[in-house]
Amino acid sequence: MDIETYSLILSALLFAIGTVGVMLRRNVIIMFMCIELMLNAVNLTLVVFSRSLGIEAQVFVFFVIAVAAAEAAVGLAIIISIFRHYELVDVDRFNLLKW
Amino acid sequence: MVNFLESFLRVAQHADGGYQPILPGLILLFPLVGFVINGLGAFLWRDSKRVPSLVGPLAIIGSFAVVLANFLAMHAAMPHDPAIVSLWTWMAVGDLSIGVDLQFDQLSVLMLLVVTGVSSVIHVYSIGYMREDPGYSRYFSYLNLFVFFMSVLVMGANFAIVFVGWEGVGLCSYLLIGFWYENREFASAGKKAFIVNRIGDFGFLVAMLLVFTHFGTLNFVEVFAAAPETLVFGGGVVTLITLLLFLGATGKSAQIPLYVWLPDAMAGPTPVSALIHAATMVTAGVYLVARAGVLFAMAPVSQATVAAIGAGTALFAATIAMQQYDIKKVLAYSTVSQLGYMFLAVGVGAFTAGMFHLITHAFFKALLFLGSGAVIHAMHHALHQVHRHDDPNDMRNYGGLKNVLPITWGTMWIGTVAIAGIFPFAGFFSKDEIIWSAGSYGYTVLWVVSILTALLTAGYMTRLMVLTFHGENRSGADVRPHLREVPAVMWVPLAILAVLSVVGGWIQIPESLPALPAVDALHHWLEPVMEPARQVMTEHGLHQAHESPLGGGEAVWAIMSTGLALIVVMLTFRALVHRRYRPASESETPTGFAGILYNKWYVDELYDRLIILPLLALWRGCWRIVDVGLIDGTLNAMASGTRMVGWVGSLFQTGRVAGYMFWFVTGVVLILALLLL
C-alpha cells in the first residue's frame, strides 16, 4: 500500500470519528470540535488527491479553512451566548425550536 | 381618428338608382354620444337636469333628422337593391368574415323612421315625467343607449350585427325595467325579462350558426339571394332555421310561451314601457321575421307555427287584459295581443300587413302608454302631497279623471278608437288588412280568432277608459284637489302621437273600400324588399283568394268589423259607466272566471310548477352532489391530505440536535449507498 491509501484511510477514520462524535456527544463544544475534525478529514482527502489530480484541489482546502474559520467565529459566539443564558452547553436541553 | 370618422361618414360602396345613404354613421353616433355624455353626467353632475334634458332628446332628434333625410332621398330614388355601408371588419376567422355593415333598404329605413321618430317624442315626454327622479341623467343615458342598439338592430346587414343590437336592446330593457333597483320586486322583474329573453336568444344564436354552416356567410343580401337555390323548399333545414329564429322572436316580442316577462316589465318608468315595451324593442321579432321573409316563405311549417302562435297569443292576452286593474298591465297585455296580430300577419305571408300594424301600433300604443303615464304622474303627485301610499297604477283608484286631465282624456280616446280598429283611425286600416289577409289566404280559424280578438280589444280598452276617466272619482276627497293636468312637455308628445294615430293608417287604404282614394304607399314602398319572399310563395302555389271564408269582399268585412268594434265600444261604455267600483283597498279580488283572468290564467304559477321548481330541484341536486360532494370534496380531501403529510413531517422536528444529526447522516449514507451500488 502506498502513502495515498494510508492517507485516505486516515481521513476516512477521522471523518467517521467526527461524525460519530457529533451524533453521540451532548457537549456543544465537543460537537463543534468534531465538526472541525470532519472538515479537516475532508481537507486531508483533498490534499491527497491533489498529488495525482493536480494543484487545484489545494485551492479548495484554503477555501474550507477560510470558511471553517468564519464558522468557528460565528459558532463560538452562538455557543457563548447560549452558555450565558443557560449556564450549560448540553444540546439536549436546547429543544425549544420545534413545531 | 380621421380615418375612424371617415368610415362613419363614408357613403355606400355599391348603390344603384342614385340613392346613397346620407351620413349613415351619424344615426348611430348621435345616440352613442348622448349615452356617453349622460352616462358621465350620472357621475359628474348628478343634480344638474339641464344637460341631460338637452343632450338626451337632441341626440335622438338629430338621429331622426338624418333618418328623415335618408328616407326622402330613398323615396326619390326608390333603389331596387339595398345599399350596404361597411364601417369596418369586425372579425375575420377562416371562412367567417363579419363586417360592421349597415343595410339601407326600404324596410330598415322605414323601421328607423318609426324607431327614431317615436323615440324623439318619448324622450321629450320623459323630461316631464322623470323630472323629479334622482336618476335623471342615468335614465337618459340608458334611453340613448337603447336607441343606439335599436338602430344597430334595425340597420345591421348581417345576422351577427343584428344579434349585437338584439342583445344590446335586451340589456337596455333590463337596465330600464330595473331602473328603480332599490325596489327588490322591480329589480327581479328586470331579471325575469333578461332570463326569459336568454331562451329566445339561444334560438337566434343557433339559427345564426345554422345559416353560416349552410350558406358560408351571414350577410342578409347573400343569404336571401342564395336561399331559394341552396335550401330545399319546406325542407328540414330551412324549417329548423326559421323555427329557431322565431323562438328568438317569441322571446323578444313576448309571444306564447315566452310572453310572461312583458307584463312584469311594467315595473320600469312608463315612458320606457311606451318606448321599449310597446313601440320599438318588442316589435324586433316581427321585424326579424319580415327581414328573413324569404326563409320563412320557404318553410310553410314555420309560417303556420308563427301564424298560429301569433293568433293564439293575440286572443289569450286579450282575455287577460279584460280583467286587469293595473292600468299598465292592461296595456302590457294589449301589447302582447297586438304583437300577436303582427305575427299572425307575417305568419300568413302578409309581411307588409305585419309591418303596417307594427307602425300604427307604435303610434297608438306609445300614445296610450304615455297617456297612462300622464295619469300615473298626476295620481302619484296628488297622492304624494297628501302622504298616502295607495297604488297610483290601480284603475280602481281613478275614475272621473276626464275633468282634471282633459287633454290626456281626449288623446287617449283617440288611441283607444285607433287600437279598437274604428274607421278612419290608424288601427282600422292595419288591423283590417291583417284580418282580411288571414281570411282571404284561407286560414279560417285564424280569421275567426283575429275578429274575436278585435272585439275583445275594443272591450278592454273601453273598460280602461271608463275606469280611468269616467264615472265617479274614487281617489278620495283629500287627493282630488291636488290632481292637475300634466305640463306641456308631456301633453305635446301626446298630441303629436294622437295625430299620428289618426293619420298613420292612411298610408295604405285598400282600393275596395268605397268612397275612399286607394293608397298603396306602403306596399309600393316595401315592394323591393318583400318581392323575393312573395316570389317564393307564388312559385309554390300560395295564391291569394279573394273572398273571406263566409263570402263577401274586403269592403263588407271592413265595414262590418268597424261597426262591430264601435258597437262593442258603446256597449262596454254603457255597461260600465254607471257601475260603482270601489277603490283598490276596499275591493275584494275577483272570483270565478273573472278571477282566473285576473290571475292571468295562472300561467306564472304553471311555469313555476312545471319549469322553475323542477329546475331548482335539479340545481339543488347539482349543488349538493356535484358542487359540495365532488368538487368541494376533492378539494377538501386534497387539503386534509396535505395537512396529514405536514403533520407526519413535523414529527421529525423534535428540537433535538442529535436527532437531526442522525437523520442527516442516515440520509447521506443512503444517498451514497445509492450512488455507489
pLDDT band for position B356 (cuts 50, 70, 90): very high
User: What is the average per-residue pLDDT within B416-435?
Assistant: 91
Q: Is the pLDDT of residue B544 over 80?
A: no
| Domain contains A46 | yes
Are B656 and A92 in contact (CB < 8 Å)? yes
pLDDT band for position B467 (cuts 50, 70, 90): very high
Q: What is the pLDDT of residues A8-38, one digit of tens each?
A: 999 999 999 999 998 888 888 899 999 999 9
| Domain contains A77 | yes
Query: Hey, how many other C-beta atoms are within 10 angstroms of the C-beta on A5?
Result: 10
Q: Is the pLDDT of residue B262 over 80?
A: yes
| Domain contains A72 | yes
Nearest CA-CA distance, residue A25 and chain B, Å: 8
pLDDT band for position B56 (cuts 50, 70, 90): very high
| Domain contains A12 | yes
Minimum mean pLDDT among A63-77, B109-123, B319-333, B518-532: which range?
Answer: B518-532
Query: Hey, how many other C-beta atoms are within 10 angstroms of the C-beta on B239?
Result: 21
Calpha distance B168→B164 (Å, rounded):
6
Residue that wins the pLDDT comparison between B656 and B357: B357
pLDDT of residue B415: 95
In terms of Cα–Cα distance, which of B346, B362, B366 is closest to B354?
B346
pLDDT band for position B2 (cuts 50, 70, 90): very low
Q: What is the pLDDT of residues A45-80, one digit of tens each?
A: 999 999 888 888 889 999 999 999 999 999 999 989
Calpha distance B591→B597 (Å, rounded):
9
Name B14's bridge partners: B84
Q: What is the pLDDT of residues B133-180, one digit of tens each?
A: 888 999 999 999 999 999 999 999 999 999 999 999 999 999 999 999
Which B-chain residues 640-659 have CB contacts (< 8 A) with chain A?
Answer: 650, 653-658
Looking at the 3D structure of chain A, how many domains does it have?
A: 1
Are B655 and A96 in contact (CB < 8 Å)? yes
Note whether A33 contacts B: Cβ–Cβ < 8 A. no
Of the ranges A50-54, B413-417, B604-608, the best mean pLDDT one: B413-417
pLDDT of residue A70: 94
| Domain contains A41 | yes
A77: domain CATH number? 1.10.287.3510
Calpha distance B120→A73 (Å, rounded):
89
Domain region containing A59 = 3-93
pTM: 0.81
Are B655 and A31 in contact (CB < 8 Å)? no
Nearest CA-CA distance, residue B676 and chain A, Å: 16
**Angle at B185 (CA atoms; ends B181, B190), nearest 5 degrees:** 65
**Angle at B605 (CA atoms; ends B340, B286), nearest 5 degrees:** 15
User: What is the average per-residue pLDDT within B628-648?
Assistant: 94
- Please, are residues B280 and B114 in contact by the beta-carbon 8 Å criterion? yes
Calpha distance B234→B300 (Å, rounded):
6
Nearest CA-CA distance, residue B645 and chain A, Å: 14
Query: Hey, how many other C-beta atoms are within 10 angstroms of the C-beta on B485?
Result: 17
pLDDT of residue B12: 45
pLDDT of residue B595: 85
User: What is the average per-residue pLDDT within B512-528?
Assistant: 84
Q: For an interface test with B, which of A15, A23, A28 has the most B Cβ atoms less than 10 Å from its Cβ?
A: A23
Question: Minimal Cα distance from B664: which residue of A?
Answer: A23
> Residue B143 half-sphere exposure, CB side, CA atoms within 13 Å?
39
Note whether A94 contacts B: Cβ–Cβ < 8 A. yes
Minimum mean pLDDT among B73-77, B142-146, B437-441: which range?
Answer: B437-441
For helices B521-539 and B220-230, the axis angle rounded to 10 degrees is: 30
Question: Minimal Cα distance from A15: which residue of B?
Answer: B665
pLDDT of residue A38: 93
| Domain contains A99 | no
| Domain contains A98 | no
Calpha distance B77→B528 (Å, rounded):
12
Question: Minimal Cα distance from B663: which residue of A?
Answer: A23
Name B86's bridge partners: B101
User: What is the average per-residue pLDDT within B334-357?
Assistant: 93
pLDDT band for position B542 (cuts 50, 70, 90): low
Tell me the pLDDT of chain B averaged across its residues: 89
Which residues does chain A have within 8 Å of residue B645's beta carbon, measured at their own beta carbons? Answer: none
Q: Is the pLDDT of residue A83 over 70?
A: yes
Q: Is the pLDDT of residue A99 over 70?
A: no
User: What is the average per-residue pLDDT within B402-416?
Assistant: 93
Nearest CA-CA distance, residue A19 and chain B, Å: 8
pLDDT of residue B1: 41
pLDDT band for position B249 (cuts 50, 70, 90): very high
Instruction: Indicate the length of chain A as a whole number.
Output: 99
Q: Is the pLDDT of residue B519 over 90?
A: no
Which residues does chain A have within 8 Å of residue B658's beta carbon, measured at their own beta carbons? Answer: 23-24, 26, 91-92
Note whether A23 contacts B: Cβ–Cβ < 8 A. yes
Pull the grid cell for residue B216.
358560408
pLDDT of residue B14: 46
Long-range pairs of A45-51 with CB within 8 A, sequence gap ≥ 24:
A45/A8, A45/A11, A47/A7, A48/A4, A48/A7, A48/A8, A48/A11, A51/A4
Are B656 and A91 in contact (CB < 8 Å)? yes
